[in-house]
Amino acid sequence: MRVPLLHAALLLVGSLILRPALAQVESAAFPVAQLDASARASSLGGHNPALVARGTGGMFVNPALLDPSMHGAAEFTYLNHVSDISGGWLSYARNVERVGTAALGIRYMGFGDLDRLDASGNRLGTFNASDIGVSLSVSGSLPTTHPVGERLRYGAGLNWLHSSIDSEGSQALTIDAGALYHDAERRFSAGLTLQHAGVVLSSLGSRRDEVPTDLRLGITKRLEHLPVLFSVTAYRLHDLEGGPDGSTVLANIFYHVIPAAEFQFSEGFRVRLGYNHRRHDELKIKSRLDLAGVSTGVGVRIRRVAVDYGFTSWSSLGGLHRLTIQTAIR
């Protein structure tokens, strides 16, 4: 089997920039690269690298999720964050002969107007802060003559990330690499992805920034006699000691696992529910019945257009609202 030239180029770049910089996500820079890029993913608690969908937004978590059926497909997601923070994701895919399915993605996050103060606290005006990322991903599959055939896909992606605060900025170059096994007959998928492994080209201030590297494993299973798709995501697998100090083994496991379910009432209407325990523990404010870390959403498809809405609770701070629109523009 010959590896397509563009795949080989991306893997070569990855081998040059990959470093053992698997730092904790929370301490990393470039926040736009750490947010869920679609309403469906966010309503299921977070990106699952095995979450097969018609939209192209999966390129931001696992490039192997791209497949030939996405030729000419486009996806846009708008994020209404807390306060004045907002963001957007745009992606478009094409099938390229002798290469595979390729997608170009752009993500942006703006933090609104921030007050500029002097040493005495006097207001001197405002300044802006923002994040932007540009991504190129490609995917392919094994030959149909292979025993696994098209059920196993692989992919790689190259990302340029840029953060700016006023006149200062930082940049990073990272790669994504992933694999996906999808058995449509058994309605089962399993995916593995390494996100944002790379190097920081320039940092904000004197402290060196860190890329938001994440190693994820995901599975999904659609029940045979019930219209429910179960999803389990294991994330931050490169940092298995990432729980709070003194936590039990069970508590630490919950810090790395996201359970979720999608109720597929029909092809055109779906309801979703997910729970992220790490997010709950970090954001909870109330002593009882705090919904921090709980996410939910709905999806509607009418012919060639799909609209998804996702809500993620941030406790008393409010919530994150996402709206995703998918269509084919050929």
What is the per-residue pLDDT across 155-199, written as a single tens digit (0 to 9) for each?
999 999 999 888 788 999 999 999 999 999 999 999 999 999 999
pTM comes to 0.86
Question: Given this model, what pLDDT does residue 242 score?
Answer: 62
CA angle, residues 207, 240, 43, in degrees to nearest 5: 90
Question: Given this model, what pLDDT does residue 231 score?
Answer: 97
Distance between CA atoms of residues 129 and 172, nearest Å: 17
- Name the one residue in this structure whose structure tokens are 């103060």: 117
Closest CA to 275 of 222, 216, 227, 232: 232
What is the per-residue pLDDT across 287-320, written as a single tens digit (0 to 9) for each?
778 899 999 999 999 988 999 999 999 888 788 9
Domain boundaries, the chain: 5-328
Share of the chain above pLDDT 90, in %: 56
Closest CA to 311 of 290, 324, 294, 296: 296
Distance between CA atoms of residues 176 and 65, nearest Å: 12
Buried b (16+ CB within 10 A) or exposed e, 188-218: ebbbbbbbbbbebeebbeeeebbbbbbbbbb
CA dist list (Å): 274 to 49, 94, 176, 187, 294 = 15, 31, 25, 20, 6
For residues 189-216, average pLDDT: 90
Alpha-carbon Rg for the chain in angstroms: 20
Say if domain 5-328 classifies as CATH 3.30.70.260.
no
